[in-house]
Amino acid sequence: MRESKGFTLVEVLVVLALFGVSVSLLVIVFSRGVDFSLSLEERSERVRRTALLFWDLQRKFFGAERIYIEGDSVYMVTSGGDYFPGMVRCAYVFRDGNLLYYEDRDVGGDIYGVTGKGKIVGRFRDFRVVAVEGNRELSVYDGLPSRVRVYVDDKVFTFEVSGGRVLSGLRKP
């Protein structure tokens, strides 16, 4: 018999098959890591937007002199505006999964007559506002309720308006 100085075709094919399986496993692990990272980033962004909305609503309800609630929209006259100093009219309106914020410096006229281009606060699955008087939740309200409850996705914000101060809390339904 002759001595072989190389590898046989079968040996080369086995090594290539093992190498291919190893690379495919690494690609699967890497892609799952990237997918997890992207989903974590989305969840983190959603939590950030919800927290910013909470603090923004708290500031606006704190300075509110009048609030008009109608289902998935809330209009108010408040001193807690984003763009203008002093009293402003502002509105949060939920349309097609987007929560829009409007602000107008003209506080005269209808409270729900806020004009201008709405700024997108964020995308949410659900946004609903109710006034709470006693044990009743009112989806339509005009005035200054004792409490306002805001439902955002799976979170519930309750803002208590009493004696010129707002106490707020967060609970899961």
Q: Is the pLDDT reported for residue 171 higher than 50? A: no
pTM tops 0.85, yes or no? no
The domain total for the chain is 1
C-alpha pair distances (Å), 127 with each of 83, 100, 135, 173: 23, 11, 21, 14
Within a domain: 96: yes
For 144-154, write each residue's pLDDT tens digit: 998 999 999 98
Within a domain: 17: no
CA angle 45, 132, 57 (to 5 degrees): 30
For 29-83, write each residue's pLDDT tens digit: 888 888 888 888 888 988 899 999 999 999 888 888 889 999 899 999 888 888 8
Within a domain: 64: yes
Q: How far apart are CA 39 and CA 43, in angstroms?
A: 6
Within a domain: 16: no
In single-letter form, the type of residue at position 157 comes to F
Within a domain: 2: no
* Mean pLDDT of the region 139-164: 85
- Residue 65 tokens read as 């002199």
Within a domain: 3: no
Within a domain: 109: yes
The residue range of the domain holding 118 is: 43-171
Instruction: List, as one string, the DSSP characters of the chain.
Output: -PPP-S--HHHHHHHHHHHHHHHHHHHHHHHHHHHHHHHHHHHHHHHHHHHHHHHHHHHHHHTEEEEEEETTEEEEEES--SSSSSSEEEEEEEETTEEEEEEES--SS-TT---SPPEEEEE-S-EEEEEEETTEEESEEEE--SEEEEEETTEEEEEEEETTEEEEEEE--
pLDDT more than 70, % of the chain? 88
Within a domain: 31: no
